[in-house]
Structure 1
């Protein structure tokens, strides 16, 4: 009987311990940081309030527009007339400035018949 009480109490402790353990990604410090390639284009935003995140300066949030989150080109097939018969189109913060701090990148791979991925 002692063993049964020990087993039940051990299971109860393990069950309650699972509720105490949580894991998650840390919250971002801000909602978004639209990257700037040229800090001179930021106007008067830089100075004491300059924000530098992921190796890029952030655009003034008041100047952010929809084009900062847009890339036209992934819907278009690329030329696969090359020795490997494939073409890779990558999209990251350099093409879509709004991706900075979001942890997102995109890739489109076009294959010709019998094309290869050399990577």
Structure 2
């Protein structure tokens, strides 16, 4: 597990619901399916990110959820399952739908 800061795409209308959760239950499960952007060389894979909070999939539209926590990754068939135990929450105003994957971090 790594102590990192990341960004995940999340609908900001769920901010109040998420922030009412006890901190020790704020676990995100990010499911990323490999794809290649038309402007990205094939050797630089891109990932579309969806977010589950307590097993509930959130829409990949809206605002950004910034969080700090522990990152763990395990590979499935064409999918990476990424678990983050969040310790801090914020909703900065960024836009976008893809994240580059490299060196154990998600970078928007």
Structure 1 length-normalised TM: 0.23
Q: Which has the higher contact order (CA 8 A, sep 6+)?
A: 2
Which has more radius of gyration?
A: 1
Give the helix-richer structure, 1 or 2: 1
